């Protein structure tokens, strides 16, 4: 029987919880450089591509000819994929993604996973697969699910980082500590501007919504645990 959420249902204009972990539950981030490299790949994929004039070229000389070459350009997913939230843990990651077309996430995750695995193996002098299997993806089909999922993702590192702002996650962006153009928290933060009863009066800010909550009571998302 395949792992849960390996067989995926993709829809246009859909939100997805995408996650994966290391083979045999091994670490996929072992140094600060590993975390920063993964995040740099997200930034390069999700930021506007550089203008052609900014693309560096180099000269290759092959007797008797010389020609100008352009370095390999990784695919860009700006305006195809939006990153709503993320957290990176030593042996797994969580991404909350919004895709414009039905095949955007599949292409994006193939590029990201392959590129990072190549970097990790070269950097740590290893061979073989880095990830346990194909990534998992669960369609987020309600506002309630979307909101609680963002909290689940941001609480994931709480066992490692007593101060959640220090974690390798998008939580700092939600608190307005820093502006990061390739992270898109607006759909979540807009819930806290609504006047209806979707959010109890106790949670007037996203910070309260996350930090006043006990992770082990999140029954809505128990079925998404990576060890299922």
pLDDT at 198 exceeding the cut of 60: no
Reported as type and span, the H/E element at residue 70 is: none
In a domain, 216, yes or no: yes
Looking up residue 203, the CATH number of its domain turns out to be: 3.30.70.1290
Residues 12-23 have pLDDT tens digits of 999 999 999 999
* pLDDT for the residue 58: 52
* pLDDT for the residue 119: 97
**Terminal CA-to-CA distance of the chain, rounded, Å?**
13
Q: Tokens at residue 176, please?
A: 């307005």
Is residue 170 within 8 Å of residue 154, measured between CB atoms? yes
Is residue 88 within 8 Å of residue 29, measured between CB atoms? yes
In a domain, 9, yes or no: no
In a domain, 78, yes or no: yes
pLDDT at 62 exceeding the cut of 70: no
Sorting pLDDT into bands at 50, 70 and 90, what band is 225? very low
Is residue 82 within 8 Å of residue 46, measured between CB atoms? yes
Rounded to 5°, the CA angle 36-182-185 comes to 110
Sorting pLDDT into bands at 50, 70 and 90, what band is 196? low
In a domain, 141, yes or no: yes
In a domain, 54, yes or no: yes
In a domain, 41, yes or no: yes
pTM across the whole model: 0.83
CA-to-CA distance for 22 and 3, rounded, in angstroms?
Answer: 14
What mean pLDDT, rounded, does the chain reach?
Answer: 84
In a domain, 95, yes or no: yes
Q: What burial class does residue 207 get, using C-beta atoms within 10 Å of its C-beta: 0-12 exposed, 13-18 middle, 19+ buried? A: middle
Range of the domain at 203: 14-224
Residues 97-156 have pLDDT tens digits of 999 999 999 999 999 999 999 999 999 999 999 999 889 999 999 998 999 999 999 999
Is residue 17 within 8 Å of residue 137, measured between CB atoms? yes
Domains identified in the chain, total number: 1
Token look-up 């370095």 returns: 71
In a domain, 7, yes or no: no
């Amino acid at each position: 029987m395949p792992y849960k959420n390996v067989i995926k249902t993709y829809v246009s204009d859909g939100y997805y919880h995408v996650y994966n972990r290391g083979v045999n539950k091994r670490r996929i981030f072992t140094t600060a450089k590993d975390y920063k490299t993964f995040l740099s790949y997200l930034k390069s994929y999700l930021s506007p591509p550089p203008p052609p004039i900014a693309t560096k070229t180099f000269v290759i000389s092959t007797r008797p000819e010389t020609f100008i070459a352009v370095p390999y350009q990784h695919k860009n997913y700006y305006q195809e994929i939006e990153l709503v939230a993320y957290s990176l843990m030593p042996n797994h990651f969580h991404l909350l993604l919004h895709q414009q077309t039905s095949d955007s996430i599949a292409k994006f995750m193939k590029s990201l996973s392959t590129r990072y695995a190549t970097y990790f193996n070269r950097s740590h002098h290893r061979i073989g697969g880095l990830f346990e299997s194909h990534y998992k993806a669960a369609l987020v089909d309600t506002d309630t699910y979307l909101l609680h999922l963002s909290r689940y993702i941001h609480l994931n590192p709480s066992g490692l980082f007593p101060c959640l702002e220090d974690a390798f996650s998008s939580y700092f962006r939600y608190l307005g500590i820093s502006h990061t153009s390739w992270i898109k928290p607006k759909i979540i933060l807009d819930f806290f501007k609504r006047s209806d009863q979707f959010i109890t009066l106790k949670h007037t800010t996203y910070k309260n919504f996350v930090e006043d909550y006990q992770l082990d009571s999140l029954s809505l998302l128990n079925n998404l645990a990576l060890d299922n």
